Structure 1
């Protein structure tokens, strides 16, 4: 992982990014691998790119280790998924640091309530819980968070 770089995703990588996304999601214990899920995630990548996603990958010498989807105009960190083989190696922290270069003052995100490992990590990284509500498209209870850069005057 020493040569890992974060760079913009290329369109020809979308299918592989969808696979990494699915494997990472499944690793949370909240879903199961299926051709249906994979097809939906791959289609969603293309749809979200048309709707303004900035999509990045963590590239480990040609292997996609993680995906990061930002919606910069909305100051929204939409997706951060690290492939199972790369979890526990501080790659999420590296992706979050990169995200803060893209949105240095403020950002929002949401996380599935049952994905306690993820939302506890975001809280440790300085995100503040704002609300929770059901996401109608998938039925999951979502926790909404906000991060703001601390002003240096305090």
Structure 2
């Protein structure tokens, strides 16, 4: 697997991964309201890295470098469990300075467990009812 900076030529695949992953895993969202264009809006000022293998993009992370913040980390649903998320997380940590932070929806139990298993710790739960999320921090 190869990790590299994304280019605009990668955006069609990144949009698809973002949409399909959220539709599959974000049970708290209305799947019909999610669109391909959400990727462009949600990653507008981010530095994007991706993992690919044999020319296929397996996942990506969108980083807000100014704040050492992981804005998005998504893996193609067909590649779940193959280590792509861990590669993206390590590459993100190597690209930025500690401490790093991210936010994870409180109802996203699978992602919270993933981050905690990788050494991230929950700092504070924020947001109004129905929209709560955890702020997590990594400081190694």
Secondary structure at the counterpart of residue 35 of structure 2: helix
Secondary structure at the counterpart of residue 39 of structure 1: coil
Secondary structure at the counterpart of residue 107 of structure 2: coil
Structure 2 counterpart of 1:142: 133
Residues 123-142 of structure 1 aligned to structure 2 (within 5 Å): 123-134=116-127, 140-142=131-133
Distance 1:140 1:15, change over 3 A: farther
TM-score by length of 2: 0.87
1:110 pairs with one of 103, 110, 113: 103
Contact 1:6 1:58 in 2 (8 A): yes
Q: What value does the CA root-mean-square deviation take over the aligned residues?
A: 2.0
Contact 1:23 1:33 in 2 (8 A): no
TM-score by length of 1: 0.80
Cα drift, residue 104 of structure 1? 4.5
Structure 2 counterpart of 1:15: 12
Unaligned runs of 5+ in 2: none
Contact 1:58 1:67 in 2 (8 A): yes
Q: How many residues align?
A: 139
Cα drift, residue 17 of structure 1? 0.5
Contact 1:19 1:38 in 2 (8 A): no
Cα drift, residue 28 of structure 1? 1.4
Structure 2 counterpart of 1:42: 39
